[in-house]
A and B are shown apart, each in its own frame.
Chain A
Amino acid sequence: MRIDRSTLSRAVPAAILLLLLAVLVTGCETDTPQNTFAADGEVARDQRDLFYLAMWPAIFIMLFVELGLVVILLRFRRRRADEVPAQIHGNTRLELAWTIAPALLLLVLAVPMMSLLFKLGDDPGEDAFVVNVTGIRFVWKFDYPDVKGPDGQPLSSAPGDPLVFPAARKIRFNVTSLDVIHSFWIPRLGGKLDAVPQRDNRFWLKADEPGTWSGQCAEFCGLDHANMKLVAEALSEEDFDAWVEEKLAGIKTSSDAAGAISAPAR
């Protein structure tokens, strides 16, 4: 069986390119529950935009290298068995150029990267609503220290209950674990933060508008890691106040009923 090499060396990269285009054409921002590009919050949006900033030069370099390799293989393939080309050992200026140019490009990318890094690391301020997140194999538990009941105790939900918080406000999450390392992640609102036992990790997220999202544990934590999921619900300020009142009064609200994740029998 003779395989025509030059056809294949054209066909395969072409197929890969078509695949890529198909991906890009179908769109990255489809409305699936945990699509990091379907950003519904400021943090997710900023992180996605930073990714695009790096992605386009990366795609360009990838095409340059892949197509370049195909062109080189076709153009310089051996035509006579005895042909020996000129023995070029290098070109210092060229090599310096292709060392310095990528370094400069990367340095340029580093600027928005650092800027966003520090923005996300900044304290969200006094106005932020605080939620304490605890990972316990294999559920999430949320406590709301800003919300005090009539007895002065902060509001806490049962393990597996959904996360409920006000929309259009920065939410500060204090994340920890009672057992092994987990990772708290609501992809459409932003990146993740690990839940480490005896450690108080903090970050902030924000939902632009009311909505419901899914998330799940993103650090391997044992047998049922795949099922350690969470439901996050952002409510408008009035709806959120109403929810708080109902919780404090001990009434099971529709949020709890609809989205609760049952804790596995232990």
Chain B
Amino acid sequence: MATAIGRRRPSLAEALRSAREVAATGHGIWSWLATVDHKRIGILYGFSAFFFFILGGIEALLIRIQLITPESEFLNPDQYNRIFTMHGTTMVFLVVMPLSSAFFNLLVPLMIGARDVAFPRLNAFSYWTFLVGGIFLNASFFTGGNIFQGELGAPDAGWFGYSTLTSTKFSPGHGVDFWVFGLQILGVASLAGGFNFIVTILNMRAPGMSLFRMPLFVWMTLVTSFLIVFAMPVIAVALFELMFDRLFDANFFNPDAGGNPLLWQHMFWLFGHPEVYILILPAMGIVSEILPTFARKPLFGYPFVVFSGLAIGFMSWGVWVHHMYTTGLGTVANAAFGVSTIMIGVPTGVKIFNWMATLWGGSIRLSTALLFAVGFVGMFTIGGLSGITHSMVPSDYQQQDTYYVVAHFHYVLFGGAIFGLFGGAYYWFPKFTGRLMNEGLGQINFWTLLIGFNLTFFPMHMSGLLGMPRRIYTYSEGQGWDLWNMMATIGAFVIACSVSVFIVNLILSLTRGEKSGDDPWDARTLEWSLPSPVPHYNFKEIPQVHALDDFWHRKYTEDEAGRPIPVVAGGSGQDEEHEEHDGHDIHMPSPSYFPLIASLGFPFIATGLIYHTALVPVGAALLLVGLYGWAMEPATEESA
């Protein structure tokens, strides 16, 4: 930039302001780096999480290639252990949780009639911290030597990191350190998001939207957010304790000093069990939105479904020992948790029947979104039932740590959560892009995924009961496991094909998908009353809500027999306002770079603690600068 004679260089404050102005135009990469718009943050979460899904999927394919035959030497044990550790860690923390966050971000403000979340910059901070944490964790792959010669540095103690394997004595490399710090960073991101959505949902509902007029997805977000803010501190403490043991020779898990390795398991699973409900409830919320829309009928038993979600939230704290039945805690402990585990099956199962009853008597449109939602119901049922067999404690002594467990949790997390999230993608894609995803490709995507998924994971019930333990890099011939493993590997590649179809569909639909209009599915909730794509201010006027499924009731009234009849003309009711004003007078929160700057501090601090302490103050400075700038800058331009 030329400096003419007489012109001075801009001051720091002016430079920052012009950076904000560039970001505020809404165009270009700078606007994305500084965005505080929940819709953009949702899209960022979605694409980043999908990228990690591909990464985790490749890790799964490597695992399956290694296990296609006995005594395979495709991967050596060191590589295998790192890859399965990263596969699990990635899928839980870098895929399902952030994909759920993507949907929270995109939908919650719209569904409650708000213009954004309660704390837009905290929201941005959540995203950047997640991204930074995910990159940091995966950077560990490169720290093991020459990655092109297959020397990997990633953590290798399992996604659950049991003590005493994770001590420096038995895991001397830095892999576990990356795991500890990576998860801590991700935990901060999740916590921030949890806080934000609790305040948003409790405080920012449109007038007339009582809690029992909220869409079910919003309820599930609320319960999930409470689970997050109570469960993440427990694993944060466990990780700090492990960190102190590894870095400073503390004794939390040191049996020679009297420490109890089982303490790690208690803390991990006290977090871990609520965590699995954190993973599944959002997808249950998505399914509870999709089924009513495509059946053109309300969710059957909305209050029951809400209460079952709340019940699951509460009860999830009382079952953690069922991950530890074989650790020798004693008959009484196992019995008590056996009972509580049996009981938690009830609110979970109730939903299945409510969903079936929603479809019963409906007018069902067999779109891709609906098929994924139905697929969720079908697959989650199987996973839930194998869960019931796990709750029979003595027979769990056989099932624990075998492929039967692997089958169980993939049925609930993949057949459940992932299917639900795919359904949500097809369902809400038009709302945020203004285009429909291609139905033909969608059908191929769904059916190949259903077939591939079942081909991969159903045989694992068999290999598990035939005595195949988990987490083994190879197995011997003559065990009767060969056929099941081969089927699973073939299935995994079918899944890969299906995901490829999805990617093709995504790209094609984004670039030349058919225009969708505002309400392509004749849906029930408020987001469908808005234009597609949604303008940056969301609602021109905050709506007044009169009922559950308020948008549906604006479209349909009921005759004396209770049959719905369309309301004449007006349609969504917002058409007039498209002409009147264009939203320029609505002040939205200003963009900010400080959340990104603050989150960049974390990897420096973590790397510093692992390698060179000098990096720690660098990271701390970045964090403090970010936080200070964030605290001092005004939230919106008008108060500048």
Q: What is the interface of chain A, defined by CB distance below 8 A to chain B?
A: 1-3, 5, 8-9, 12, 15-16, 19, 23, 28, 30, 32-37, 44, 46-48, 50-51, 53-55, 58, 61-62, 65-66, 68-69, 72-73, 76-79, 83-92, 94-95, 98-99, 102-103, 106-107, 109-110, 113-114, 116-118, 120-121, 175, 179-181, 183, 185, 187-188, 190-194, 196-199, 201-202, 216-226
Contact in complex: B392, A86 (CB < 8 Å):
no
| Bound complex: CA A224 to CA B471 (Å) | 11
In the bound complex, CA of A43 to CA of B153 (Å)? 42
A51-B395, A85-B363, A218-B402 known; A62 vs B382 contact (CB < 8 Å): yes
Of the residues B256, B354, B475, contact of A226 by C-beta under 8 Å: B475
- Cross-chain contact of A181 among B261, B342, B396, B562 (Cβ < 8 A): B261
Q: In the bound complex, do residue A76 and residue B295 qualify as a contact, i.e. CB atoms below 8 Å apart?
A: yes
Contact B389 A34 (CB under 8 A): no
Is A219 a contact partner of B162 (Cβ separation < 8 A)?
A: yes
Distance in Å: Cβ of B321 to nearest Cβ of chain A: 13
Q: Which of A3, A16, A54 contacts B444 (CB 8 A)?
A: A3
Cα of A68 to Cα of B359 in the assembled complex, Å:
10
Q: With A and B bound together, what is the CA distance between A218 and B512 in angstroms?
A: 52
Task: Give the distance to chain B from A109, nearest Cβ to Cβ, in Å.
Answer: 7
> How many whole Å from A184's CB to the nearest CB in chain B?
9
Considering the chains assembled together, what is the distance between the CA atoms of A202 and B398 in angstroms? 16
CB under 8 Å from chain A, chain B span 292-309: 295-298, 300-304
Say whether B3 faces chain A, with CB atoms less than 8 Å apart.
no
Give the secondary structure class of B's interface.
helix
| Contact residues in A for B374 (Cβ distance below 8 Å) | 69, 73
| B545 interface residue (CB < 8 Å to A) | no
Q: Could you say which of B330, B346, B361, B385 contacts A88, with CB atoms under 8 Å apart?
A: B361
For the complex of A and B, list the 8 residue pairs with the smallest distance between their C-beta atoms, beginning with the closest.
Answer: A191-B397, A34-B467, A121-B331, A201-B328, A32-B480, A226-B472, A90-B301, A198-B255
Q: List 18 A-B contacts (CB under 8 A).
A: A3-B447, A8-B447, A15-B451, A36-B466, A47-B397, A54-B389, A54-B395, A65-B381, A78-B365, A84-B556, A85-B297, A87-B558, A88-B297, A90-B300, A109-B392, A113-B342, A179-B170, A219-B162
Stretch at the interface among B100-108, B143-151, B332-340, B611-619: B332-340
The 8 A CB mask of B432-472 against A (1 = contact, 0 = none) is 00000000100110010011001000100010011111111
A35→B465 contact, CB < 8 A? yes
**A87: which B residues are within 8 A, CB to CB?**
297-298, 558, 562, 564
CA distance A89 to B163 in the complex (A): 50
**B353 contacts which chain A residues (CB < 8 A)?**
95, 98
What residues on B are CB-neighbors of A86 within 8 Å?
Answer: 297, 361, 562-564
A44, A50, A84, A224 pick with most chain B CB within 10 angstroms: A84
Min distance, Cβ A218 to any Cβ of chain B, angstroms: 4
Give chain A residues whose Cβ lies under 8 Å from the Cβ of B302: 89-90
Judged by a CB distance under 8 angstroms, whether B356 is at the interface is: yes
Query: Given A95-B301, A226-B472, A226-B475, is A218 in contact with B295 using a C-beta cutoff of 8 Å?
Result: no
B282 near A: Cβ within 8 Å?
Answer: no
Bound CA–CA A83/B296 (angstroms): 9
B385-426 with Cβ < 8 A to chain A: 385-386, 388-389, 391-398, 400-402
Q: Does B490 lie at the interface of the complex (its beta carbon under 8 Å from any beta carbon of A)?
A: no
Q: How far is the CA of A51 from the CA of B300 in the complex (A)?
A: 33
Pick from A72, A175, A187: contact of B467, CB under 8 Å = A187
Whether B479 is near chain A, meaning CB under 8 Å from some CB there, is yes
B381 / chain A contacts, CB cutoff of 8 Å = 61-62, 65-66
Question: What residues of chain B lie closer than 8 Å to A95, measured between beta carbons?
Answer: 301, 304, 350, 353-354
CB-based contact A78/B392 at 8 Å? no
Contacting residues, chain B, for A103 (C-beta < 8 A): 343, 346
Please tell me if B474 contacts chain A, counting CB pairs below 8 Å. Answer: yes
B207 within 8 A of A: no
With a cutoff of 8 Å between Cβ atoms, the chain B residues found around residue A34 in the complex are: 466-468, 479
Interface membership of chain B positions 479-501, coded 1 if the CB is closer than 8 angstroms to chain A and 0 otherwise: 11000000000000000000000
Residues B295 and A85 in contact, CB atoms below 8 Å apart: yes
Beyond the given pairs A47-B394, A86-B297, A191-B400, 9 more chain A to chain B contacts, judged by CB atoms under 8 angstroms and listed by A's residue number, are A32-B479, A53-B392, A66-B378, A69-B377, A84-B363, A88-B297, A90-B302, A121-B331, A193-B326
